[in-house]
Structure 1
């Protein structure tokens, strides 16, 4: 009887394997490696690629289909849907490039990234921590070259989300895409034409406080630093919405944060 009880948890391995396959295929869909309308590899190929059984592959495909990301077609295979129906995928379609929408994005980010910073401090591994530092260094290089820093800014936040080891934090940021750093995508609010070098240096100081707290494993400090960063960003966007020109705001009068 006791041996039977000990063996009961074994079937749990199958959904865990399916979850891993789902996560990897979902990342390919988000990254565009698997494009809309493209046919997925055959069931046989997927079993070889991921080292799992056909049953696991079928469970993974069923989960993706339930999320509206892929569509099995009888006798033809499984295809990436042209317009994904998942809630996360719809975020990008609904959010425009107005400054008021930038404030909406920041509000969503506060609900997600404050806690993700704390989780990153508690859960990150050395490779994930290194990727956060690499993204920070890329921002510095772009700033020194007077290039737009939006992509590296996004990379910092994405690396922090990845360090939570919860793939849904990354999925939300990927769904928002470039809108995660709205000042870098919405004309005439682009970094190149509006934001000063001094302004971006301030952003990087805020990033550094977050990263230092994560590196120290201090979840509360990371949470506080991310909150300060995003709150300051909200304030700056409200000033722009009210008609302020950020170029006229002195370093001393600028709110601390990003």
Structure 2
């Protein structure tokens, strides 16, 4: 007779060094730690992250292997002037065309549908709490009629982190919060997508995703994320069609004049 089936959420927990790597990678790719700058000392990092020197050294080795930092004998560890990490340049290519927004969403679908399913299987209690906190922070800002873009991104990022695979987070960090259309800093954020009705619709879609992850239902989580991102794609396509209609109407008036 076989023994009890192990809870998949407890099978793979992120190593301490992975948490350090994820935090520093995010700071480097976002520009918070600028190219050429020296990272905090080993002692400072152990204090900041509450880990041992061995953990910090392992994290530094990973970042160096990724091409993000360069150890210099006797001087410390410095951020490379031109990081070679493949994902690091993605955000530099994001412009302000709607066609690019649709392309970004297509990439996000390839990443986030599976990340939602993995999060439903692998997340631990703290990670689930982070997803819920981002969801309710979105709700709080919506009630205050404040910009919700950062919390929208935080919701998706928390799901990626709950996969316990750092590369899902890395891709989202590279794409950046500018991929969230309801953020006023997004190149695609306009009055038509910053309305309360629009954001309430997003939050309803978020709730379906959250419920599926909380229920440990990977297929429902994938379906909910697919529906959410597909709906966003369709919203962008409608805006493109609207631009075409406006152009045709304007051209018709010009010819008539």
Determine the structure 2 residue equivalent to 1:157.
156
Whether 1:112 and 2:111 are equivalent positions in the alignment is: yes
Q: CA offset at residue 74 of structure 1?
A: 4.4
Q: 1:241 to 1:79 in 2, by over 3 A?
A: same
- Is the partner of 1:79 in helix, strand or coil? strand
Determine the structure 2 residue equivalent to 1:256.
none
Calculate the aligned-residue CA RMSD, in Å. 2.7
- On the 8 A contact 1:36/1:81 being kept in 2, the answer is yes
Segments of structure 2 that go 5 or more residues without pairing to the other structure are: 1-14, 245-257
Q: CA offset at residue 183 of structure 1?
A: 4.6
Q: CA offset at residue 178 of structure 1?
A: 1.5
Q: 1:204 to 1:77 in 2, by over 3 A?
A: same
Q: CA offset at residue 88 of structure 1?
A: 1.2
Determine the structure 1 residue equivalent to 2:238.
239
Q: CA offset at residue 92 of structure 1?
A: 0.9
Whether 1:83 and 2:87 are equivalent positions in the alignment is: no
- 2:23 and 2:193 map into 1 onto residues whose CA distance is 38
Whether 1:212 and 2:211 are equivalent positions in the alignment is: yes
Q: 1:199 to 1:186 in 2, by over 3 A?
A: same
- 2:26 and 2:90 map into 1 onto residues whose CA distance is 17
Determine the structure 2 residue equivalent to 1:250.
none
- On the 8 A contact 2:177/2:186 being kept in 1, the answer is no
Which deviates the most, 156-165 or 67-76? Answer: 67-76
Segments of structure 1 that go 5 or more residues without pairing to the other structure are: 1-15, 246-258
- On the 8 A contact 2:157/2:169 being kept in 1, the answer is yes
Map Cα deviations across residues 46-80 of structure 1 (whole Å, 9 max, x no partner): 678642449x82x6434322322112334433211
Q: CA offset at residue 176 of structure 1?
A: 1.1
Q: 1:53 to 1:98 in 2, by over 3 A?
A: same
Whether 1:141 and 2:146 are equivalent positions in the alignment is: no
Structure of higher RCO (CA pairs closer than 8 Å, 6+ residues apart): 2
Q: 1:137 to 1:96 in 2, by over 3 A?
A: same
Whether 1:201 and 2:200 are equivalent positions in the alignment is: yes
Aligned pair count reads: 227
Q: 1:61 to 1:235 in 2, by over 3 A?
A: same
Q: 1:204 to 1:244 in 2, by over 3 A?
A: farther
